[in-house]
Amino acid sequence: MGCSVLIVHATERPRLVEIRDDLLARILEAEREGWLGEIEGLQSSLTHADETIAQLDAQIARKQGAVNLGVPTSREIVARTATAAAP
């Protein structure tokens, strides 16, 4: 989870949420069992998972908020040219 050059695709978000939920459960178990050394490593992994999910959410929001610049398609260009050239 902590690899800074790891590229995660938005389709992998459900799996990351599953991993995060598992980490939360493991942290609770470690606290319950008194495994103090284990908690720090799990917390670090949880932080990375949360950061990755937040980055994916931001990426998804940017893509959904894309602005149509109105660039015409080839078909539209041909239709305009044919109409303009007609007498």
With respect to residue 1, please indicate whether it lies within any of the assigned structural domains.
no
Instruction: For 52-76, write each residue's pLDDT tens digit.
Output: 999 999 988 888 776 777 787 788 7
Question: Mean pLDDT over residues 19-39, rounded?
Answer: 95
- Give residue 40's domain range: 10-85
Q: List all residues 6 or more positions away from 71 whose beta carbon is below 8 Å from its beta carbon.
A: none
Using the CB atoms, write b or e for 44-83: b if 16+ within 10 Å: ebbebbeebbeebeeeeeeeeeeeeeeeeeeeeeeeeeee
Structural domains counted in the chain? 1
Q: What is the pLDDT of residue 5?
A: 60
With respect to residue 28, please indicate whether it lies within any of the assigned structural domains.
yes
With respect to residue 65, please indicate whether it lies within any of the assigned structural domains.
yes
CA dist., res. 80 & res. 74, Å (int):
10
With respect to residue 15, please indicate whether it lies within any of the assigned structural domains.
yes
The token duo for 13 is 């978000």
Report the phi/psi class of residue 6: left, alpha or beta, with left for phi > 0 and alpha for psi in -120 to 50: beta
With respect to residue 2, please indicate whether it lies within any of the assigned structural domains.
no
